[in-house]
A and B are shown apart, each in its own frame.
Chain A
Amino acid sequence: MQDQILIEMKGVQKWYGGYQALRNVDLTVRRGEKIVLCGPSGSGKSTLIRCINRLEAIQQGSIVVNGHRLDDSIKAIDVVRQDVGMVFQSFNLFPHMTVLQNCTLAPIRARRISKSEAEATARKYLDRVRIGDQADKYPAQLSGGQQQRVAIARALCMQPKVMLFDEPTSALDPEMVKEVLDTMIGLANDGMTMICVTHEMGFARQVADRVIFMADGQIIEEGAPDAFFRNPQHARTRQFLGEILAHH
């Protein structure tokens, strides 16, 4: 079970017009694995995870999620999105809905479960991210850290097989980073498969099974966090780690 493959990307290429954002990317993620993606801005790490739930289309290569091959058909995209949860840098909560409504909308509309069942599930996950008492507030009434925890709960309500995090703490004030990271660590400890684009190297050391370094749309290097941080193989990786670790 542990070795079951959940995501398999092979030879993925992506262009924005003449600019190549992903170059021949191969990535295999097993069930339960926690992966941290890092790299300089513009290296393609966000683009990579956005291809997994088809927020971005790829031009070449293949992506298989939970046994379903992702192609251009609405059905394939649908099936894959049901299995993949995503948390964004800018939260992207729906501002005209309460916290609870944010969490119940997709289960009701996309999974077609009853409102009462959706609310019960939503309250369970809101409690789990320790924000259950704010269920009837609107996003604007919450702090950034609270909003991001709601966004995590909202994604969990769809009961995804894997969670994608796109720089989830980059837009937060420093004092709120920890509460979001703690939530993510809790999720990791519960066995959730996760791919996190982040510069939080402490988080990477603590929960990642593998750390992947990208530059110029390519995967340059990957390894277990210990080896990756202690003994990076490539000059680009060393340079990058030198730059971001200097700030910590």
Chain B
Amino acid sequence: MTPHFGLAEFGFLLRGLQWTVLLTLVAFAGGCTAGLAVALLRTCGHKGVEWITRIYIGMFQGTPLLLQLFVVYYGLALTGLKLDAFVAVAIGFTVNASAFLGEIWRGAIQAVPRGQTEAAMALGLHYSSRMRDIVLPQAIRISLPATIGYLVQLIKGTSLAAIVGFIELARAGQIVSNQTFQPLLVFGVVGAMYFILCWPLSWWGSRMEARLALASQR
């Protein structure tokens, strides 16, 4: 007998949702940390380092995320490094996110007027203080809408993790749908779950953007 979509199935989806959120948090936290390093290296003023970072960013932006996940999961396994599916996709998403966030923040760092850095230099502030106290606080503000936008993309993008057998929300939905033959209902619930995660963020992002636009008019 085919099971109907009930509490047990809903619970299964919720566990999938949990993994989606966890994967997103890990990838975003890792991506932010590595992305900051990428953005700083990309703007450090040393031509060689800037080129290497540029290639790094280009590589991850220019190839499918799917491929990158394959490389981490299957490729590393071939070299004898067998990773747990969660660890593998977490690494894949982190590295990918570092390239995208790095590029977003590179743009934001460069959008901070040159005069800010010059004033800081004239006051005798060193690179670390110039970045920490002057440039990054302003760059982060500038990049916030794009960063939130990327986070929303990341949440939805984690569904790709299913490809290496990791059961997150989308994959959980597929499994439940196959068992219950109620794809419309199941994927409707799955879609609603994604929406509840993403929509408030999108809303917050666009509000932030409007605020920034207003601030820059003054």
The reply to whether chain A is a binding partner of chain B is yes
Known A96-B137, A96-B141, A109-B133; judge A55-B118 contact (CB<8 A).
yes
Instruction: Please name 19 pairs of A and B residues whose Cβ atoms are closer than 8 Å in the assembled complex, sorted by A.
Output: A53-B122, A55-B121, A81-B121, A82-B124, A86-B122, A88-B115, A88-B118, A90-B115, A92-B119, A94-B119, A94-B134, A105-B133, A106-B120, A106-B123, A106-B124, A109-B129, A110-B129, A111-B124, A140-B218
A2 to B116, CA, bound (A): 35
A110 CA to B124 CA in the complex, in Å? 6
Residue in B closest to A96 when the chains form the complex, CB atoms? B137
Residue B175, interface by CB 8 Å: no
Q: Is A123 part of the contact surface with B, judged by Cβ < 8 Å?
A: no
A100, chain B: closest CB distance, angstroms: 14
Enumerate B105-126 residues with CB–CB distance to A below 8 Å.
Answer: 113, 115-116, 118-126
In angstroms, Cα B126 to Cα A54, docked, is 13
A111 to B118, CA, bound (A): 18
B138 at the interface (CB under 8 A from A): yes
Residue from B122, B137, B218 in contact with A85 in the complex, judged by beta carbons closer than 8 Å: B122
The 3 A-B pairs with the shortest beta carbon distances in the complex, nearest first, are A92-B119, A106-B123, A86-B122
Check if A110 sits within 8 Å of B126, measured CB to CB: yes
Interface centre among B115, B120, B122, B123, by most chain A C-beta atoms within 10 angstroms, is B123
* A105-B123 contact, Cβ under 8 Å, with A92-B116, A94-B116: yes
A-B interface contact total, Cβ < 8 Å: 61
Distance A85 CA – B125 CA, assembled complex (angstroms): 12
Residues of A within 8 A of B115 (CB): 88, 90, 92
Does chain B have a CB within 8 A of A84? Answer: yes
* In contact, B119 and A109 (Cβ under 8 angstroms): no
Complex contacts, A191 vs chain B, CB 8 Å: none
Contact digits for B187-217, partner A, Cβ 8 Å, 1 yes 0 no: 0000000000000000000000000000000
A154 near B123 (CB under 8 angstroms)?
Answer: yes
**B125–A106 CB distance below 8 A:** yes
Contacts of A92 in B (CB 8 A): 113, 115-116, 118-119
**A158-B138 contact in complex given A88-B115, A109-B133, C-beta closer than 8 Å:** no
- On whether A110 and B141 interact (CB within 8 A), knowing A88-B115, A140-B218, the answer reads no
Given contacts A96-B138, A96-B141, A109-B133, contact A155 B118 (CB under 8 A): no
